[in-house]
Structure 1
Amino acid sequence: MKKLLLLLTMTITFISCQEETKPVEPIEISAEDLHASVDKVTEIMIHDIFSPPVASRIFAYPNIAAYEIVALGNENYHSLVGQITDLTPIPKPDTISAINYDLSALVAHMELSKRLIFSEDRMEALRDSLYGVWEGKNPTVFKSSKDYGLLVADHIGEWMNKDNYPQTRTMPKFTVDADNPSRWQPTPPAYMDGIEPHWSKIRPFVIDSAAQFKPLPPPSFSMETNSDFYMELKEVYDVGKKIEEEGDESDEIAIAKFWDCNPYVSVTRGHLMFATKKITPGAHWIGITKIAARKTNSDFDKTLFAYTKTSMAIADGFISCWDEKYRSNLIRPETLINQHIDDEWKPVLQTPPFPEYTSGHSVVSGAASTALTSIFGDGFSFEDDTEVPYGLPVRSFNSFHEAAEEAAISRMYGGIHYRAAVEVGLIQGRNLGNFLVEKLHMKTDQRVADNLQ
């Protein structure tokens, strides 16, 4: 019996020693891991059908949470505390714990993303697959880094929940002024209510207020054929008829469809109505951010920096744009053309369910392109394959600004915006983007050459 006990003790000791001496591997977090998390968020948002403004909020907060962790662990990056509205310092990690800051950042990104979408199980599937790999390499570092990432996610989550978004969920629907011929009316085929009429009440990230970049008002409404407004309306109709005559080979149709980015397109088949799902305009620019980061071989921290700066520009762009949309409350071209010019005319694209002025694509593209130019430089050429999953070909651009200009004019080609909304909206977005670039100091060395190393 004593010999059996002795043998058992020796066996346990041997196993224990084996476990203690088992080599651990370093946990390396790459930019591709971050791309995978951002791509998963985009995929889920398409599945869950979030409106463009709400989608911009979903992108921004997880990026900020992750960025604040990186800024704590990398002296080349500066915290956003004191630079964006109401953000307070994240808690510091326990000094006795070994922390992999990039791992913690990615944990925070996935956790906060999970809280912002509906299909949590889809995000959890990605998270669990990564957790399994990391824990197997170094259990101690994994646990301490994960715990810290979750701690920061809680901190940013508390700040996030004070941005007035929860309150806007219970605010009244937008009331249509049917007696005023200049005011927006729901459009076919679904005749949906106006989306997010209270978005201007959301707390902005960088801009001082929703109205800080209030644009010039649209041309005065008039159906007199010599008025500026009517001539812009007629231009939309004429462009649409020209595109119709040229058919699907028209470059204008290709441009309109490439930048459509309507997350909910209603399709009618007999008595049935269903939706086709696509990315939002903000998600398209997040996709362009990924393309630029990959082209420059940006590491995890640089990639996160690009995502964070661009997503804040997009989010504040939507707040600024939606403030003007529901202030001017301008009627869409489709409604007036059908009432006064041609009752059978249809736009190339389905008209989105909210007022016309200014163009959301134009504002967001102007802001995002300005942020990206500040990171990767002007004259940054790229192949945009963001829309390939939706059956559209790659388009080439010589700069972010060139892409923004095409995105803006695509809305007039699509028949859903007047020229003023496109041109003024682009200026509105660029002014906002320039303000963001001048105000934020996120990186010690922001030279373009640094991003190309």
Structure 2
Amino acid sequence: MRYRLGGLAAAVVVSAVVAAPQAQARQRVDVVVEWYDVTAGVLAAAPAPTQITNNRTWAIGWLAAARAVRHGHDRAFTDAAVASAVHDSLVRLVPSRAAEVDEALARTLARVPDGPAKARGVAAGSDQARRTLAEREGDGLDPASVNAPFPVPAAGPGVWQPTPPAYAPAIQYGNRAAKPFTLRRADQFRPAPPPALDSARYRRDLAEVRDYGSIDSTVRTESQTRIASFWYQGSQPAFITPLRVALSESRATVPDRVALVAKYNVAAVDTQIATSDAKYAYQLWRPVTALRAGGLPSWTPLHVTPAHPDYPSGHATYAGFSEQVLTSLTGPRSHQAFTLTSPTAPGVTIQYQAWRDLTRDNVNARVWSGIHTRVADEVGVDLGRTVARHALANFDRVVG
């Protein structure tokens, strides 16, 4: 399906604050955006330490909501069902924020006229939250399982090793053993192996990181440095606003807009499972390890290298699936430009409109940060897009 886009102010601010009851009485409140903001606010205030766990929380709550409203069009029913499904899921998964989520539910339900439709909506939302939570119990996406210990292999050419300065243990190794939403198995779309170390492609890509990604690079421009620093932020929080832009502009039905959020986060979880499968199947060393082993013992990247293998880039797979989902469901761009900020580049703002431009900057940023080869980024984008297409094609089966 394709959602028709409407207008939106350029700057988008995600907030968990819901309008006061008096204001709600005077204007129509968009329950989908309302509970999107509640979810975003809860996870901003109490995030899990692992990104995929946060996407799991989004996916469970909004999949439950999608199931609850898939056959409902009465507004009293859908408003009550969305709020109840997301509420019950958040209270279970982020219990430390239960009080504020309870307050948000009370505000929504106070706005919905009492009657059979409201009662059915509350019951449907709660029932689907309970069912979805039960289905995902023990799925291996809790932080301890995600960061299962990885036995570091013996050092050798091309083999991943812990990276400076912390030489920290590998992370996200357990993703590959987690239960996906739509994938049959983690390696279903595993990309081909990375290029050989002595190939022209790998030598060219490593030379690019050497020149453009070093902390003291003389060829990286100020603009490139800003983009590298901007996209050094975590992928999951970085894409909260672009998805909200698409959601706010959509003029689709409530069930379709709820499904947009659910599909996005289902694809996010499956993409990260597929990414970790490939990373730990190939265990390719990071540029800093390769360059230091190749005769530059003091070479240092602009940004600290994350503690997992190079190929494929997780940021790139995240950007790739995001672009695919948003393009497939809302078209190639937002109706108006929107502004993003980043905690890793204070004071820097970047305007975007086409979803593919976020992907482009993610690919370049990881090279200019000195932490990924370009081939790892480009293959990552392709993997993310592929998993997203599969997730979209199989979402109806997940909904049931």
Which band: TM-score by shorter chain?
A: 0.7 to 0.9
Q: Which whole-Å CA distance do the structure 1 matches of 2:266 and 2:366 have between them?
A: 23
From 109, 116, 131, the equivalent of 1:134 is 109
Q: Per the alignment, in what secondary structure is the counterpart of residue 239 of structure 2?
A: helix
The verdict on how the C-alpha distance between 1:171 and 1:421 changes in structure 2, with shifts beyond 3 A counting, is closer
150-159 vs 185-194, greater mean Cα deviation? 185-194
Q: Per the alignment, in what secondary structure is the counterpart of residue 132 of structure 2?
A: helix
* 1:195 to 2:171 alignment: yes
Q: Who is 1:184 aligned against?
A: 160
From 283, 293, 304, the equivalent of 2:237 is 283
Instruction: Name structure 1 gaps, 5 residues minimum.
Output: 1-23, 76-97, 262-279, 443-453
* 1:173 to 2:149 alignment: yes
Decide whether the 8 Å contact of 1:29 with 1:300 is kept in 2. no
Q: Who is 2:190 aligned against?
A: 214
* 1:36 to 2:37 alignment: yes
Q: Which whole-Å CA distance do the structure 1 matches of 2:202 and 2:210 have between them?
A: 13
Query: Residue 322 of structure 1: CA displacement?
Result: 0.7
160-169 vs 422-431, greater mean Cα deviation? 160-169
Decide whether the 8 Å contact of 1:286 with 1:310 is kept in 2. no
Q: Which has the larger radius of gyration?
A: 1
Decide whether the 8 Å contact of 1:26 with 1:137 is kept in 2. no
Q: Per the alignment, in what secondary structure is the counterpart of residue 397 of structure 1?
A: strand
Residue by residue, what CA displacement relative to the aligned partner does 1:39-73 show, whole Å, maximum 9, x if unpaired?
Answer: 224303xx445222323222211110111111131
From 269, 293, 317, the equivalent of 2:247 is 293
The alignment-based identity, stated in percent, is 23
173-182 vs 62-71, greater mean Cα deviation? 173-182
Amino acid at match of 2:87: M
The verdict on how the C-alpha distance between 1:144 and 1:427 changes in structure 2, with shifts beyond 3 A counting, is closer
422-431 vs 157-166, greater mean Cα deviation? 157-166
Q: Who is 1:55 aligned against?
A: 54
From 250, 258, 262, the equivalent of 1:304 is 258
The verdict on how the C-alpha distance between 1:289 and 1:201 changes in structure 2, with shifts beyond 3 A counting, is same
From 364, 369, 374, the equivalent of 1:414 is 369
Q: Who is 2:72 aligned against?
A: 73
The verdict on how the C-alpha distance between 1:370 and 1:26 changes in structure 2, with shifts beyond 3 A counting, is closer
Query: Residue 206 of structure 1: CA displacement?
Result: 2.0
From 146, 149, 164, the equivalent of 2:125 is 149
* 1:245 to 2:222 alignment: no
* 1:362 to 2:316 alignment: yes
Q: Per the alignment, in what secondary structure is the counterpart of residue 229 of structure 1?
A: helix
* 1:104 to 2:76 alignment: no
Query: Residue 300 of structure 1: CA displacement?
Result: 4.4
For residues 264-283 of structure 1, what are the structure 2 equivalents within 5 Å?
Answer: 280-283=234-237
* 1:235 to 2:208 alignment: yes
Q: Per the alignment, in what secondary structure is the counterpart of residue 232 of structure 2?
A: coil
134-143 vs 58-67, greater mean Cα deviation? 134-143
283-292 vs 99-108, greater mean Cα deviation? 99-108
Amino acid at match of 1:378: P
Q: Which whole-Å CA distance do the structure 2 matches of 1:190 and 1:375 have between them?
A: 41
Decide whether the 8 Å contact of 2:60 with 2:129 is kept in 1. no
Q: Which whole-Å CA distance do the structure 1 matches of 2:87 and 2:359 have between them?
A: 29
Corresponding pairs, count: 371
Q: Who is 1:385 aligned against?
A: 339
Q: Which whole-Å CA distance do the structure 2 matches of 1:343 and 1:113 have between them?
A: 48
Q: Per the alignment, in what secondary structure is the counterpart of residue 70 of structure 2?
A: helix
Query: Residue 29 of structure 1: CA displacement?
Result: 5.4
Q: Which whole-Å CA distance do the structure 2 matches of 1:399 and 1:170 have between them?
A: 32
Decide whether the 8 Å contact of 2:268 with 2:318 is kept in 1. yes
Amino acid at match of 1:190: A
Amino acid at match of 1:411: R
Identify the structure with bigger relative contact order (alpha carbons < 8 Å, sequence gap 6+).
2
Query: Residue 397 of structure 1: CA displacement?
Result: 3.2
Q: Who is 2:276 aligned against?
A: 322
